[in-house]
């Protein structure tokens, strides 16, 4: 009897191995891969560790779903890695297909970019997929080290004076929301009073980022939004950017800020509060300043633009605000 049991156990063990060969191979490859693969860099000072609903940081660098892929891309960008390589496990049969679709979806990558600090935002991601299932990301970031240094120095100089101005406004104020409102309003007004919308949208003006808005005093919606985001972060407000996507009529879309005040997410659109006027006069509005989504839609109700029709499935924090 014992002679029969031993062969039976051996055969049964072999069958178990054969039935689970893919998962076993994945685990072996994963161990070998991670022992030699480049690791994500230590988080830089602009790394954001907020638990957003659409995407989050991850330490699991082997994807088993589309959400895993999204989180890997986000974490790589958020830690400002210029190069990173990971692989698709065999059990995730649509992995390569999903990556190919994902990496060619410019709109989705733009939305993903909005959740990182502006200094960690990218201009392009080049994704290379090998036949063996190895995926390499090569990322080009928007801001140079020199630009970051200059922007930080200027904001460090400006912020105490602006906050002192807000402090005087709030001297006798006791309402918590009003105090935060006035602090952000001072920054909002400063940027608008010192910036014009760049109708030419020239690259040499760098109006597409915070540098152009801060030093050349010219900005597109990206410049307004990045500069406001940097100020908000320096003031310890949780924030991210919101974007609509291009349509057949307008290939470029629009971007503005979302900021959390007293546990409530609100919209903040400096571009639309600094309108381009037909009489060439400077105007400063607060129509799109710290409003919820219902108020945003109401503000847009008497115009034909659909630039604020954002995707609720992506920017979930603002869905019911």
Q: Contact at 8 Å (CB) between 118 and 128?
A: no
Q: pTM of the prediction?
A: 0.86
pLDDT-derived band at 67 (thresholds 50, 70, 90) equals very high
Q: What pLDDT sits at residue 217?
A: 96
Query: End-to-end distance of the chain based on CA atoms, in angstroms?
Result: 72
What torsion do the CA atoms of 194, 198, 202, 203 make, to the nearest 10 degrees?
A: 50
Range with the poorest average pLDDT among 142-156, 239-253, 291-305: 239-253
Percentage of residues of the chain with pLDDT beyond 90 = 71
Tell me how far apart the alpha carbons of residues 319 and 310 are, in angstroms, rounded to a whole number.
Answer: 9
DSSP secondary structure of 29-85: HHHHHHHHSPPPPPP-TT------SS----S--S-SSHHHHHHHHHHHHHTT-SEEE
CA atoms in the 13 A half-sphere facing the CB of 42: 1
Pairing state of beta strands 289-291 and 196-197? unpaired
Nearest to 137 by CA among 69, 65, 57, 90: 69
pLDDT digits (tens, 9 = 90+) for 158-171: 999 999 999 999 99
Pairing state of beta strands 264-268 and 289-291? antiparallel
Domain ranges within the chain, ordered by starting residue:
25-141, 145-318
Strand partners, 135: 86, 129
pLDDT digits (tens, 9 = 90+) for 217-226: 999 999 999 9
Q: Which fold has domain 145-318?
A: C8orf32 fold (3.10.620)
Range with the poorest average pLDDT among 25-39, 214-228, 236-250: 25-39
């Amino acid at each position: 009897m014992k002679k029969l049991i031993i062969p039976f156990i051996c055969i049964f063990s072999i069958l178990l191995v054969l039935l689970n060969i893919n998962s076993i191979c994945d685990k072996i490859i994963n161990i070998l891969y991670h022992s030699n693969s480049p690791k994500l860099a230590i988080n830089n000072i602009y790394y954001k560790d907020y638990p957003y609903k659409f995407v989050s940081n991850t330490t699991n660098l082997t994807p088993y779903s589309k959400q895993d892929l999204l989180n890997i891309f986000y974490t790589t960008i958020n830690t400002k890695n210029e190069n990173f390589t990971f692989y698709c496990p065999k059990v995730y049969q649509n992995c390569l297909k999903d990556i190919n679709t994902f990496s060619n979806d410019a709109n989705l990558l733009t939305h993903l970019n909005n959740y990182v600090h502006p200094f960690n935002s990218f201009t392009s991601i080049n994704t290379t997929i090998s036949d063996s299932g190895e995926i390499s990301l090569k990322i080009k970031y928007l801001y140079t080290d020199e630009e970051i240094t200059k922007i930080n120095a200027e904001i460090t100089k400006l912020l105490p004076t602006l906050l002192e101005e807000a402090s005087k406004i709030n001297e006798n104020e006791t309402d918590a929301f009003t105090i935060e409102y006035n602090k952000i309003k001072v920054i909002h007004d400063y940027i608008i009073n010192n910036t014009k919308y760049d109708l030419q949208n020239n690259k040499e003006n760098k109006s597409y980022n915070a540098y152009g808005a801060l030093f050349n005093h010219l900005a597109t919606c990206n410049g307004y939004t990045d500069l406001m985001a940097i100020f908000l972060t320096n003031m310890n407000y949780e924030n991210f950017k919101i974007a609509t996507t291009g349509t057949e009529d307008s290939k470029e879309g629009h971007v503005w800020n979302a900021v959390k005040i007293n546990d409530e997410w609100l919209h903040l659109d400096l571009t639309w509060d600094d309108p381009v006027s037909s009489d060439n006069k400077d105007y400063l509005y607060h129509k799109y300043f710290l409003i919820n989504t219902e108020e945003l839609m109401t503000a847009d109700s008497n115009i034909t633009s659909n630039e604020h029709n954002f995707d609720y499935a992506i920017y979930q924090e603002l869905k019911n605000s």
